[in-house]
């Protein structure tokens, strides 16, 4: 890279934009740094970012969790829920998207329209009846109400995958038909391998949404042994009277780590997912 | 079975092809429905039947334990005439949506314009500005926000340093609501990414032609950028409005589930949750949900019908 003098415009631009980026992220940096400060000094020393002294005890304290369940238990619960949900959402959405994007059948436009409407439907409308149905099925206090609906497709992912499949030339399908492939084989052998980038995008968002979700777990999981990380943080907050901010901040940081790691590993998929289909982050 | 097959064999060629064509169409239809069947089953079981159930429940008194009793319009009447908390939640939510969504979109557009250059750092900036949007819905961030705006939090420190008077964000309902609105604006990242993609799609030649004609930057923005971007703005507005209406986690965490102070952060979803799952007024909560559905429907309809006055579509082929 050749060294050349930067113009004043260049400096102004980067100071402005870079400065604003840091300003935006300052609260997150503050949260991270505060998690290394002793609880009783967090707000006293809120002006200075760097902890003095650096301590790890917040993480040790926080990890002890609630009611005899360590934070490890909550992470395990959430991870299990994430994996089960992710597999269900991605596979079912891919199958459904293939049907919408490639197959011709009566009523396709109608069902696609319905799918687009569900995409904009406020979840609150179905929340109460769903709860009643799941309670009649005796599914309360289990992950069934959270995981089983995942196996019937997710409108955002169906939409994303339909868009993606439409960009794949139909000649590939036709060539496969000549080679004697049936519809199912076209799906598994031709389409699935080609839509891997979009599947990855769906998987990443599925992870985010399940990992961060609070309302579903709060409704359906009652016993602390089944709590997810979001619920555990909520419990920390309810016990905030003990003012153990340090531990709460430390565990907040812990729950954000996987989100950041996955983002930096798969940035391209995330950015493309939002840019092309408006998936919300 | 055999006789039918034999009969078919005797038919004339034309009929055979028409039969095979018909059976192919039937088979195509069956295959199609087989692939989308998970969606249809899921839609019926988890959306359609619950929506109908919700409509029925909204005319009943139901607490999950006794069976529902029909009370006609009572829930709706109570909501609008005898429940000040309902009006409060409606007011708070409308302010949240009408202030939050335009501010968020304006920010998103501003930053997208700043990032729509050839600089190599754009990729990094894009990621940094997107991060709040990525983590914004989490409990961790709501907890962070609560403390950033605390009496001794960094927001008040900054206000103090700037010589402004500090604000007790939890001490008054308006300030608490603005704390939520700021949190929503802070998460402008996903809209920004959609705007960036839209900006990349505007042909450079338009700007070059405008420059030749002597247009300045502001004219280019209003005559080229904004019209060309208007379909994306429409999409963003609709999706963000719906999402804002359903906001739950920040209000729930920041107010510790109460909607306080003085119901200042009692967003609609939170009040619905409190009615349905704390008081177990499930009929009332269902009625609330239906009013929400109608409001969201009307807002969306308004955005779409007014869109023909401000959304510019390229004339080539109907989009």
- Written as one string, the DSSP assignment of chain B is -HHHHHHHHHS-HHHHHHHHHHHHHHHHHHHHHHHHHHHHHHHIIIIIHHHHHHHHHTTEE--SSSPPEE-TTHHHHHHHHT-HHHHHHHHHHHHHHHHHHHHHHHHHHHHHHHH-S--TTHHHHHHHHHHHHHHTTSHHHHHHHHHHTSTTSHHHHHHHHTTPPP--TTTSHHHHHHHHHHHHHHT-HHHHHHHHHHHHTS-HHHHHHHHHTT--HHHHIIIIIHHHHHHHHHHHHHHHHHHHHT--HHHHHHTTTS--STTTT--HHHHHHIIIIIS--HHHHHHHHHHHHHHHHHHHHHHHHHHHHH----SSS--
Instruction: Report CB contact under 8 Å: A281, B51.
Output: no
**In a shared domain, residues A29 and A154:** no
- Mutation site for B-interface testing, chosen from A23, A62, A121, A128 by largest number of B Cβ within 10 Å: A128
* Contact list, A18 vs chain B (CB under 8 Å): 121, 125
Q: Give the model confidence (pLDDT) of B104-115 as tens digits.
A: 999 999 999 988
Confidence at residue A49, expressed as pLDDT on a 0 to 100 scale: 77
User: Is A50 in the same domain as A93?
Assistant: no
Interface residue B229 vs chain A (CB under 8 A): no
CB B224 within 8 A of CB B206: yes
In a domain, A2, yes or no: no
Domain of A49? 12-55
- Are A169 and A39 found together in one domain? no
Q: Which of A27, A120, A281 sits opposite B242 (nearest CB)?
A: A120
From the centroid of its chain, how far is CA A262? 10
What does the pLDDT look like over A205-229, one tens digit per residue? 999 999 999 999 999 998 889 999 9
B273-302 residues touching A, CB cutoff 8 A: 273, 276-277, 282, 285-286, 288-290, 292-293, 296, 300
Domain co-membership, A21 together with A83: no
Interhelix angle A155-166/A108-120, rounded to 10 degrees, is: 130
> B84-310, what's its fold?
MetI-like fold (1.10.3720)
Cβ–Cβ gap A92/B131 under 8 Å: no
Residue A62 C-alpha, separation from nearest chain B C-alpha, in angstroms: 13
Separation of alpha carbons A48 and A44, rounded Å: 9
Structure tokens at B84: 């000040």
Q: Which of A41, A35, A39 is nearest to A59 (CA)?
A: A35
pLDDT along chain B (319 residues), means of 10: 53 62 84 93 94 93 86 91 92 94 93 84 87 88 88 84 84 90 92 88 86 85 87 86 90 85 91 93 94 90 83 55
CATH number at residue A77: 1.10.3720.10
Residues A78, A25 share a domain: no
Residues of A in contact with B252 (CB under 8 A): 214-215
Contact assignment for B50 to A133 by CB distance below 8 Å: yes
The residue behind tokens 């819905």 is B137
Q: Which residues pair with B69 in a beta bridge?
A: B61
Do A111 and A132 have their domain in common? Answer: yes
Q: What residues in B contact A106, CB-CB < 8 Å?
A: 29
Tell me, yes or no, whether A281 lies in a domain.
no
Alpha helices in chain A (DSSP H): 8-34, 57-63, 71-102, 108-120, 124-136, 144-147, 155-166, 170-178, 183-185, 192-194, 196-212, 215-220, 229-238, 245-277
Option in B152, B239, B282 nearest A46 (CB) = B152
Q: Using a CB-CB distance cutoff of 8 angstroms, which residues of chain B are in contact with residue A7?
A: none
Which residue from B111, B114, B134 is facing A259, i.e. has the nearest CB? Answer: B134
Which chain A residues are Cβ-neighbours of B197 within 8 angstroms?
275-276
Within this chain, do residues A41 and A99 fall inside the same structural domain, yes or no?
no
Asked whether residue A148 falls in the same domain as residue A178, the answer is yes
Structure tokens at B282: 């499930």
- Of the given ranges (A75-79, A139-143, A181-185, A274-278), which has the lowest mean pLDDT? A274-278
pTM: 0.86
Mutation target among B138, B161, B188 for the A interface, most CBs of A within 10 A? B138
B57 touches chain A (CB under 8 A): yes
For residue B241, the distance in angstroms to the closest alpha carbon of chain A comes to 10
Q: Which of A125, A249, A256 sits opposite B138 (nearest CB)?
A: A256
In this model, does residue A281 exceed pLDDT 50?
A: no
Flag whether residue B72 sits within 8 Å of chain A, measured between CB atoms. no
- Which pair of structure tokens corresponds to residue B89? 């939640």
pLDDT for res B216: 84
Query: What is the tally of structural domains in chain A?
Result: 2
Q: For B250, name the nearest residue in chain A, comparing CA atoms only.
A: A214
A-facing residues of B in 84-103 (CB < 8 A) are none
Asked if A110 and A33 sit in the same domain, the reply is no
A232 pLDDT higher than 50:
yes
Q: Answer whether A280 sits within 8 Å of B243, measured CB to CB.
A: yes
Closest C-alpha among B306, B228, B309, B286 to residue B61: B286
Q: Do B157 and A31 touch (CB under 8 A)?
A: no
The answer to whether B137 touches B251, Cβ cutoff 8 Å, is no
Percentage of the residues of chain A whose pLDDT score is greater than 70: 95
Inform me whether the pLDDT recorded for A277 exceeds 70: no
- Tell me, yes or no, whether A51 and A76 share the same domain: no
What per-residue confidence (pLDDT) applies to B317?
39
Inspect the interface and report whether the beta carbons of B35 and A95 lie closer than 8 Å.
Answer: yes
Question: What ipTM was estimated for this complex?
Answer: 0.86
Q: Is B147 on the interface with A (CB under 8 A)?
A: yes
Looking at the predicted structure, is the pLDDT value of residue A276 above 80?
no
Please say if the pLDDT value at position A240 is more than 70. Answer: no
Confirm whether A152 is domain-assigned: yes
CB atoms within 10 A of CB A154: 26
Give the start-to-end residue ranges of the domains of chain B. Answer: 2-57, 84-310
Give A52-105 pLDDT, tens digit per residue: 788 888 888 888 877 788 889 999 999 999 999 999 999 999 999 999 999 889
- A127 → chain B, closest CA residue: B50
d(CA B32, CA A2): 58
List, for residues A13-63, the tens digit of each pLDDT value: 888 889 999 999 999 998 898 888 887 777 777 777 787 788 888 888 888
- Set of chain B residues whose Cβ sits within 8 Å of the Cβ of A96: 35-36, 38-39
Asked whether residue A126 falls in the same domain as residue A252, the answer is yes
Mean pLDDT of chain A: 87
């Amino acid at each position: 890279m050749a060294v050349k003098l930067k113009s004043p415009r260049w400096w102004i631009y980067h100071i402005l934009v870079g400065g604003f980026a840091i300003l935006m992220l300052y609260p997150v940096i503050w949260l991270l740094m505060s998690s290394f400060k002793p609880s009783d000094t967090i707000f006293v020393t809120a002006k200075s970012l760097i902890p003095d002294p650096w301590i790890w005890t917040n993480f040790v304290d926080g990890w002890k969790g609630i009611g005899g369940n360590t934070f490890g238990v909550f992470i395990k619960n959430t991870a299990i829920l994430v994996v089960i949900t992710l597999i269900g959402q991605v596979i079912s959405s891919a199958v459904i998207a293939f049907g919408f994007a490639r197959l011709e059948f009566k009523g396709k436009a109608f069902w696609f329209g319905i799918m687009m409407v569900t995409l904009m439907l406020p979840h609150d409308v179905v929340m109460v009846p769903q709860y009643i149905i799941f309670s009649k099925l005796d599914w309360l206090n289990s992950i069934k109400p959270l995981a089983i609906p995942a196996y019937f497709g997710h409108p955002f992912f169906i939409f994303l995958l339909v868009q993606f499949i439409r960009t794949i030339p139909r000649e590939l399908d036709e060539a496969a038909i000549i080679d004697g492939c049936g519809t199912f084989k076209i799906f598994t052998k031709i389409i699935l391998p080609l839509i891997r980038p979009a599947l990855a995008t769906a998987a990443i968002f599925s992870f985010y949404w399940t990992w961060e979700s609070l309302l579903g777990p709060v409704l359906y999981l009652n016993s602390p042994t089944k709590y997810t990380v979001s619920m555990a943080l909520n419990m920390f907050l309810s016990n905030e009277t003990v003012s153990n901010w340090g531990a709460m901040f430390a565990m907040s940081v812990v729950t954000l780590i996987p989100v950041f790691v996955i983002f930096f590993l798969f940035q391209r998929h995330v950015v493309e997912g939002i840019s092309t289909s408006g998936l919300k982050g | 079975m055999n006789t039918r097959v034999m009969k078919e064999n005797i038919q004339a060629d034309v009929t055979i092809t028409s039969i095979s064509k018909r059976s192919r169409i039937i088979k195509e239809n069956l295959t199609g429905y087989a692939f989308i069947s998970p969606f249809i089953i899921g839609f019926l079981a988890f959306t359609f039947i619950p929506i109908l159930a919700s409509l029925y429940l909204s005319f009943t008194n139901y607490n999950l334990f006794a069976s529902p009793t029909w009370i006609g319009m009572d829930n709706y009447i109570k909501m609008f005439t005898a429940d000040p908390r309902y009006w409060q939640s409606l007011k708070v939510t409308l302010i949240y949506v009408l202030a939050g969504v335009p501010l968020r979109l304006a920010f998103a557009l501003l930053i997208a314009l700043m990032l729509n250059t050839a600089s190599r750092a754009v990729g990094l900036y894009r990621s940094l500005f997107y991060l709040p949007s990525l983590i914004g819905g989490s409990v961790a961030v709501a907890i962070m926000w609560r403390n950033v705006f605390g009496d001794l939090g960094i927001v008040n420190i900054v206000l103090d340093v700037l010589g402004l008077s500090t604000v007790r964000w939890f001490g008054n309902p308006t300030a608490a609501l603005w704390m939520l609105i700021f949190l929503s604006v802070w998460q402008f990242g996903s809209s920004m990414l959609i705007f960036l993609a839209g900006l990349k799609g505007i042909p450079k030649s338009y700007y070059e032609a405008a420059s030749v004609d002597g247009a300045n930057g502001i004219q280019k923005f209003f005559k080229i950028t904004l019209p060309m971007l208007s379909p994306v703005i429409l999409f963003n507005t609709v999706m963000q409005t719906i999402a804002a209406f359903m906001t739950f986690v920040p209000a729930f965490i920041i107010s510790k589930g109460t909607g306080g102070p003085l119901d200042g952060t009692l967003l609609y979803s939170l009040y619905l949750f409190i009615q349905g799952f704390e008081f177990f007024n499930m009929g009332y909560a269902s009625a609330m949900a239906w009013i929400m559905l109608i409001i969201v429907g009307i807002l969306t309809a308004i955005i779409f019908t007014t869109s023909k006055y401000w959304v510019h579509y390229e004339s080539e082929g109907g989009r």
